[in-house]
Amino acid sequence: MRLHLSTWQEVETYLQTSKAILIPIGSTEQHGPNGLIGTDALCPEIIGGLAAESGLLMAPTFNIGVAQHHMEFPGSMTLRPSTFIATMVDWVDSLAKHGFTHFYWLNGHGGNIATINAGFAEIYASRSLDTGNGRTPIRCKLRNWWQGKETYEKCKALYGKAHGAHATPSEVAVTQFAYPDHIKTAPLSPEIAPSGGYTDARDYRARFPDGRIGSNPALATPEDGELLAKLAAKEVTADFERFAAEQ
């Protein structure tokens, strides 16, 4: 069930049996020579959409993330951490007003993790400091789409050391499965990109000129993407159900 494809009456009915909602959250940033700019938003949206077939409710995708380090690559977009956190707070407050209490954030961008957790701290602080005790208690959970045990093991088995840290074959494969008409090809040199750290956008571009970190996304296939997306969706659904049942 998707919020954007539901009526208000359907959401009202959903709330009679569940107060939990899944929010795909990602980023809009370069993903190397053959990865879509929307990859980090598309992956949790694709996997969340498969999970939503079980009957859970999926919110619209929070599709601009914390990606300042990609800003030397055309098409990348970023939010400042303070803007990102403020937007998270507004999303939660809006949905909490209607009765939602459990917010399951399905993440597709590693660069979001620290700021998502800071957002949770801001959300909880606003309730702790509400002297009128007028706000409904809520719970937030962060889950990266790739972190399920079976999903992570399958990524390692498929790609080994060529999986890397950014523009990975697993995430590219998931987008190829969902968008077969938008599969891109490009020469990669070297086949496996260098690894390492970075600071700002200029430093990133200098160290990783084609955008990849430690990966070989040419290994991606739509068939791998279907396998990984369905496996991740199965693990996400089970984890969401456990979270939704927490008191």
Write down the pLDDT at residue 10: 98
Burial class (CB in 10 A: 0-12, 13-18, 19+), 185: exposed
Write down the pLDDT at residue 7: 98
- For the chain, the domains span 3-244
Q: Tens digit of pLDDT for each residue in 165-198? A: 999 999 999 999 999 999 999 999 999 999 999 9
Distances (CA, A) of 67 to 29, 40, 207: 7, 11, 16
Q: Across the chain, what does the average pLDDT equal? A: 97
Write down the pLDDT at residue 132: 65
Residue 197: both structure tokens together: 């750290």
Torsion-angle region of 160 (φ positive above 0: left; ψ -120 to 50: alpha; else: beta)? left
Q: Tell me, what DSSP letter sits at residue 140?
A: E
With residue 120 as reference, give the H or E element that holds it: helix 113-128
CATH superfamily of 3-244: Creatininase (3.40.50.10310)
Query: Which residue matches tokens 């951490």?
Result: 81
Write down the pLDDT at residue 134: 67
Write down the pLDDT at residue 136: 80
Write down the pLDDT at residue 133: 65
Quote the CA–CA distance of 215 and 114 in Å, as a whole number: 23
Q: Tens digit of pLDDT for each residue in 100-129? A: 999 999 999 999 999 999 999 999 999 998
What are the average pLDDT values for consecutive 10-residue runs of the chain, which has 247 residues? 98 98 98 98 98 98 98 98 98 97 98 98 92 80 98 98 98 98 97 97 98 98 98 98 96
Write down the pLDDT at residue 135: 74
